[in-house]
Amino acid sequence: MVGRLLRQGHTVTGYNRTRAKAEGLMAAGMQWAATPREAAAGAEVVFSMVTNSAALLAVAEGEDGLLAGLGTGQVLCDLTTASPEVSRKLAARVRERGADMLDTPVSGSVITLEKGELSVMAGGRRETFERVKPLLQDLGPRVTYVGGNGLALAMKIACNLSLAVQMMAFSEGVLLAEKSGIARATAVEVLVNSAAASPMVKYRGPFVLGMPAEAWFDVTMMQKDMLLALEMGRQLSVPLPTTAISNEFLTAARGLGLEKQDFAVVFEVLARLAGVATRTEEAR
Protein backbone atom coordinates (compact mmCIF):
# COMPACT_ATOMS: atom_id res chain seq x y z
CA MET A 1 0.00 0.00 0.00
CA VAL A 2 2.88 2.37 0.68
CA GLY A 3 4.19 1.46 -2.75
CA ARG A 4 0.88 2.38 -4.35
CA LEU A 5 0.81 5.75 -2.58
CA LEU A 6 4.36 6.49 -3.71
CA ARG A 7 3.54 5.56 -7.30
CA GLN A 8 0.59 7.96 -7.18
CA GLY A 9 3.02 10.78 -6.39
CA HIS A 10 2.33 11.15 -2.65
CA THR A 11 5.03 12.00 -0.16
CA VAL A 12 5.05 9.21 2.45
CA THR A 13 6.83 9.18 5.79
CA GLY A 14 6.64 5.80 7.48
CA TYR A 15 7.47 3.94 10.65
CA ASN A 16 7.76 0.24 11.35
CA ARG A 17 8.93 -1.49 14.52
CA THR A 18 11.53 -3.41 12.49
CA ARG A 19 13.34 -0.90 10.32
CA ALA A 20 14.91 -3.59 8.15
CA LYS A 21 11.46 -4.53 6.84
CA ALA A 22 11.03 -0.99 5.52
CA GLU A 23 14.35 -0.81 3.64
CA GLY A 24 12.73 -1.65 0.30
CA LEU A 25 10.17 1.10 0.75
CA MET A 26 12.82 3.63 1.65
CA ALA A 27 14.69 2.67 -1.49
CA ALA A 28 11.45 3.38 -3.39
CA GLY A 29 11.15 6.86 -1.88
CA MET A 30 9.53 6.54 1.53
CA GLN A 31 11.00 8.80 4.20
CA TRP A 32 11.81 7.16 7.53
CA ALA A 33 10.38 8.23 10.89
CA ALA A 34 11.98 7.06 14.13
CA THR A 35 8.67 6.86 16.02
CA PRO A 36 4.90 6.77 15.31
CA ARG A 37 4.72 10.31 16.71
CA GLU A 38 7.31 11.52 14.22
CA ALA A 39 5.48 9.80 11.36
CA ALA A 40 2.22 11.49 12.32
CA ALA A 41 3.55 14.96 13.04
CA GLY A 42 2.71 17.36 10.23
CA ALA A 43 1.11 14.76 7.98
CA GLU A 44 -2.19 15.68 6.37
CA VAL A 45 -3.39 12.08 6.58
CA VAL A 46 -1.95 9.32 8.76
CA PHE A 47 -2.43 5.62 8.01
CA SER A 48 -1.97 2.92 10.64
CA MET A 49 -2.17 -0.84 10.12
CA VAL A 50 -1.08 -3.25 12.83
CA THR A 51 -1.90 -6.73 14.09
CA ASN A 52 -4.78 -6.29 16.52
CA SER A 53 -6.48 -4.03 19.07
CA ALA A 54 -3.63 -4.27 21.58
CA ALA A 55 -1.06 -3.36 18.92
CA LEU A 56 -3.19 -0.42 17.79
CA LEU A 57 -3.26 1.03 21.31
CA ALA A 58 0.47 0.35 21.70
CA VAL A 59 1.31 2.36 18.57
CA ALA A 60 -1.16 5.13 19.46
CA GLU A 61 -0.38 5.76 23.11
CA GLY A 62 2.64 7.10 24.99
CA GLU A 63 4.90 10.08 24.41
CA ASP A 64 6.12 8.61 21.09
CA GLY A 65 2.71 7.36 19.96
CA LEU A 66 0.48 8.49 17.11
CA LEU A 67 -1.81 10.50 19.36
CA ALA A 68 1.07 12.67 20.53
CA GLY A 69 1.85 13.55 16.91
CA LEU A 70 -1.68 14.50 15.88
CA GLY A 71 -3.05 18.02 15.81
CA THR A 72 -5.81 20.20 14.40
CA GLY A 73 -7.05 19.28 10.95
CA GLN A 74 -5.23 15.98 10.60
CA VAL A 75 -6.98 12.70 9.80
CA LEU A 76 -6.04 9.25 11.07
CA CYS A 77 -7.17 6.38 8.85
CA ASP A 78 -6.75 3.12 10.71
CA LEU A 79 -6.67 -0.01 8.57
CA THR A 80 -6.25 -2.44 11.47
CA THR A 81 -8.89 -5.14 11.87
CA ALA A 82 -9.51 -4.33 15.51
CA SER A 83 -12.43 -4.32 17.91
CA PRO A 84 -15.06 -1.75 16.83
CA GLU A 85 -15.36 -0.66 20.47
CA VAL A 86 -11.62 -0.05 20.80
CA SER A 87 -11.65 1.89 17.53
CA ARG A 88 -14.52 4.12 18.64
CA LYS A 89 -12.77 4.95 21.90
CA LEU A 90 -9.57 5.80 20.03
CA ALA A 91 -11.52 8.01 17.61
CA ALA A 92 -12.86 10.00 20.57
CA ARG A 93 -9.31 10.55 21.83
CA VAL A 94 -8.15 11.62 18.36
CA ARG A 95 -10.92 14.24 18.25
CA GLU A 96 -9.83 15.59 21.62
CA ARG A 97 -6.61 16.59 19.86
CA GLY A 98 -8.47 18.48 17.13
CA ALA A 99 -7.92 15.76 14.54
CA ASP A 100 -10.40 13.18 13.25
CA MET A 101 -10.33 9.43 12.66
CA LEU A 102 -11.85 6.94 10.26
CA ASP A 103 -11.70 3.18 10.53
CA THR A 104 -10.75 2.14 6.99
CA PRO A 105 -10.13 -1.62 6.87
CA VAL A 106 -9.46 -3.20 3.50
CA SER A 107 -10.61 -6.41 1.87
CA GLY A 108 -8.32 -8.27 -0.47
CA SER A 109 -5.03 -10.10 -0.66
CA VAL A 110 -1.53 -9.70 -2.01
CA ILE A 111 -2.85 -10.44 -5.51
CA THR A 112 -5.81 -8.06 -5.37
CA LEU A 113 -3.60 -5.28 -4.02
CA GLU A 114 -1.03 -5.78 -6.77
CA LYS A 115 -3.79 -5.75 -9.39
CA GLY A 116 -5.24 -2.57 -7.94
CA GLU A 117 -8.47 -4.31 -6.95
CA LEU A 118 -8.42 -3.73 -3.19
CA SER A 119 -11.73 -2.81 -1.52
CA VAL A 120 -11.78 -0.17 1.21
CA MET A 121 -14.53 0.35 3.79
CA ALA A 122 -14.79 3.56 5.80
CA GLY A 123 -16.49 4.42 9.07
CA GLY A 124 -16.62 7.84 10.71
CA ARG A 125 -17.82 11.34 9.91
CA ARG A 126 -19.10 11.64 6.37
CA GLU A 127 -17.37 14.97 5.75
CA THR A 128 -14.03 13.50 6.82
CA PHE A 129 -14.55 10.53 4.53
CA GLU A 130 -15.30 12.77 1.54
CA ARG A 131 -12.11 14.71 2.25
CA VAL A 132 -9.83 11.65 2.15
CA LYS A 133 -11.79 9.53 -0.36
CA PRO A 134 -9.46 10.36 -3.29
CA LEU A 135 -6.51 9.16 -1.22
CA LEU A 136 -8.31 5.94 -0.27
CA GLN A 137 -9.08 5.39 -3.97
CA ASP A 138 -5.34 5.44 -4.61
CA LEU A 139 -5.21 2.27 -2.49
CA GLY A 140 -8.14 0.58 -4.21
CA PRO A 141 -10.89 1.57 -6.64
CA ARG A 142 -13.79 0.34 -4.49
CA VAL A 143 -14.22 2.67 -1.52
CA THR A 144 -17.48 2.41 0.41
CA TYR A 145 -18.72 4.61 3.23
CA VAL A 146 -20.70 2.39 5.62
CA GLY A 147 -21.59 4.75 8.48
CA GLY A 148 -20.23 5.99 11.78
CA ASN A 149 -17.04 5.06 13.57
CA GLY A 150 -16.64 1.34 14.12
CA LEU A 151 -19.10 0.30 11.42
CA ALA A 152 -16.44 -0.26 8.76
CA LEU A 153 -14.75 -2.62 11.18
CA ALA A 154 -18.03 -4.41 11.80
CA MET A 155 -18.37 -4.78 8.03
CA LYS A 156 -14.79 -6.03 7.68
CA ILE A 157 -15.31 -8.65 10.39
CA ALA A 158 -18.54 -9.71 8.67
CA CYS A 159 -16.53 -10.16 5.46
CA ASN A 160 -13.62 -11.98 7.01
CA LEU A 161 -15.61 -14.64 8.83
CA SER A 162 -16.68 -15.85 5.39
CA LEU A 163 -13.08 -16.40 4.30
CA ALA A 164 -12.46 -19.22 6.76
CA VAL A 165 -15.94 -20.67 6.22
CA GLN A 166 -15.43 -20.72 2.44
CA MET A 167 -12.00 -22.31 2.81
CA MET A 168 -13.48 -25.04 4.97
CA ALA A 169 -16.23 -25.79 2.43
CA PHE A 170 -13.74 -25.74 -0.45
CA SER A 171 -11.44 -28.15 1.44
CA GLU A 172 -14.35 -30.49 2.13
CA GLY A 173 -15.22 -30.53 -1.56
CA VAL A 174 -11.64 -31.26 -2.65
CA LEU A 175 -11.30 -34.10 -0.15
CA LEU A 176 -14.64 -35.62 -1.09
CA ALA A 177 -13.60 -35.61 -4.76
CA GLU A 178 -10.12 -36.92 -3.98
CA LYS A 179 -11.34 -39.85 -1.90
CA SER A 180 -13.76 -40.68 -4.72
CA GLY A 181 -10.75 -41.20 -6.99
CA ILE A 182 -10.37 -37.78 -8.62
CA ALA A 183 -6.90 -36.24 -8.66
CA ARG A 184 -6.57 -33.36 -6.22
CA ALA A 185 -5.31 -30.98 -8.92
CA THR A 186 -8.31 -31.84 -11.10
CA ALA A 187 -10.72 -31.23 -8.23
CA VAL A 188 -9.12 -27.86 -7.55
CA GLU A 189 -9.29 -26.86 -11.22
CA VAL A 190 -12.99 -27.70 -11.40
CA LEU A 191 -13.91 -26.00 -8.12
CA VAL A 192 -12.04 -22.73 -8.76
CA ASN A 193 -13.86 -22.46 -12.09
CA SER A 194 -17.28 -23.46 -10.79
CA ALA A 195 -20.28 -21.50 -9.57
CA ALA A 196 -18.95 -21.98 -6.01
CA ALA A 197 -15.76 -20.05 -6.72
CA SER A 198 -15.55 -16.67 -5.01
CA PRO A 199 -12.53 -14.40 -5.63
CA MET A 200 -11.02 -15.77 -2.42
CA VAL A 201 -11.49 -19.38 -3.55
CA LYS A 202 -9.91 -18.57 -6.90
CA TYR A 203 -6.68 -17.21 -5.43
CA ARG A 204 -6.43 -19.29 -2.25
CA GLY A 205 -7.94 -22.60 -3.37
CA PRO A 206 -4.77 -23.65 -5.22
CA PHE A 207 -2.91 -23.46 -1.90
CA VAL A 208 -4.15 -26.98 -1.15
CA LEU A 209 -1.73 -28.11 -3.86
CA GLY A 210 1.18 -26.27 -2.22
CA MET A 211 1.25 -23.68 0.50
CA PRO A 212 3.03 -20.36 -0.13
CA ALA A 213 6.48 -19.95 1.39
CA GLU A 214 5.20 -16.94 3.31
CA ALA A 215 1.64 -16.86 4.64
CA TRP A 216 -0.60 -14.22 3.13
CA PHE A 217 -2.83 -14.35 6.21
CA ASP A 218 -1.81 -16.87 8.82
CA VAL A 219 -3.91 -19.04 11.13
CA THR A 220 -3.39 -16.82 14.18
CA MET A 221 -4.48 -13.68 12.33
CA MET A 222 -7.52 -15.40 10.85
CA GLN A 223 -8.56 -16.73 14.24
CA LYS A 224 -8.26 -13.24 15.72
CA ASP A 225 -10.89 -12.08 13.23
CA MET A 226 -13.09 -15.10 13.87
CA LEU A 227 -13.05 -14.42 17.59
CA LEU A 228 -14.01 -10.79 16.94
CA ALA A 229 -16.93 -12.08 14.86
CA LEU A 230 -18.03 -14.56 17.52
CA GLU A 231 -17.93 -11.86 20.19
CA MET A 232 -20.01 -9.56 17.98
CA GLY A 233 -22.45 -12.40 17.41
CA ARG A 234 -22.77 -12.92 21.15
CA GLN A 235 -23.34 -9.22 21.78
CA LEU A 236 -25.86 -8.83 18.95
CA SER A 237 -27.64 -12.18 19.45
CA VAL A 238 -26.70 -13.39 15.96
CA PRO A 239 -26.00 -17.14 15.80
CA LEU A 240 -22.83 -17.89 13.83
CA PRO A 241 -22.71 -21.70 13.57
CA THR A 242 -20.42 -21.99 10.54
CA THR A 243 -18.09 -19.37 12.02
CA ALA A 244 -17.90 -21.34 15.25
CA ILE A 245 -17.01 -24.68 13.62
CA SER A 246 -14.50 -23.03 11.28
CA ASN A 247 -12.88 -21.38 14.29
CA GLU A 248 -12.49 -24.80 15.95
CA PHE A 249 -10.54 -26.04 12.95
CA LEU A 250 -8.25 -23.03 13.22
CA THR A 251 -7.67 -24.03 16.83
CA ALA A 252 -6.89 -27.56 15.63
CA ALA A 253 -4.38 -26.14 13.14
CA ARG A 254 -2.64 -24.30 15.96
CA GLY A 255 -2.65 -27.49 18.00
CA LEU A 256 -0.81 -29.20 15.14
CA GLY A 257 1.82 -26.46 15.10
CA LEU A 258 0.55 -24.89 11.87
CA GLU A 259 -0.26 -21.43 13.24
CA LYS A 260 2.33 -19.67 11.05
CA GLN A 261 0.90 -21.18 7.87
CA ASP A 262 -1.68 -19.42 5.72
CA PHE A 263 -5.13 -20.24 7.08
CA ALA A 264 -5.75 -22.37 3.97
CA VAL A 265 -3.86 -25.00 5.96
CA VAL A 266 -7.23 -26.00 7.46
CA PHE A 267 -7.25 -28.29 4.41
CA GLU A 268 -4.43 -30.24 6.01
CA VAL A 269 -6.35 -30.58 9.28
CA LEU A 270 -9.36 -32.00 7.41
CA ALA A 271 -7.14 -34.18 5.25
CA ARG A 272 -5.55 -35.80 8.28
CA LEU A 273 -8.97 -36.56 9.72
CA ALA A 274 -9.99 -38.03 6.37
CA GLY A 275 -6.87 -40.20 6.22
CA VAL A 276 -5.56 -38.41 3.14
CA ALA A 277 -1.84 -37.76 2.82
CA THR A 278 -0.86 -34.09 2.60
CA ARG A 279 2.24 -32.53 1.15
CA THR A 280 3.50 -31.71 4.66
CA GLU A 281 3.26 -35.35 5.65
CA GLU A 282 4.77 -36.51 2.36
CA ALA A 283 7.74 -34.22 3.01
CA ARG A 284 8.40 -36.07 6.25
How do residues 179-201 score in pLDDT, each as one tens digit?
Answer: 999 999 999 999 999 988 888 89
280, pLDDT greater than 70: no
Task: Write out pLDDT tens, residues 197-241.
Answer: 888 899 899 999 998 888 889 999 999 999 999 999 999 999 999
Looking at domain 158-283, its CATH architecture is: Orthogonal Bundle (1.10)
Q: What secondary structure does DSSP assign to 238-271, as a single string?
A: ---HHHHHHHHHHHHHHHTT-TTSBGGGHHHHHH
SS3 41: coil
How far apart are the C-alpha atoms of 106 and 254, rounded to whole Å?
25
Residue range(s) of every CATH 3.40.50.720 domain in the chain = 2-149
The C-alpha atoms of residue 229 and residue 256 are separated, in whole angstroms, by: 24
Is 284 a residue whose pLDDT tops 50? no
Domain with CATH 1.10.1040.10 in the chain: 158-283
**Is the Cβ–Cβ distance between 168 and 150 less than 8 Å?**
no
pLDDT reported for residue 282: 46
Q: Which helix (H) or strand (E) holds 157?
A: helix 151-179
Q: How confident is residue 279, by pLDDT bands cut at 50, 70 and 90?
A: low
**Rounded CA gap, 20 and 277, in Å?**
38
Q: Which architecture, in CATH terms, is 2-149?
A: 3-Layer(aba) Sandwich (3.40)
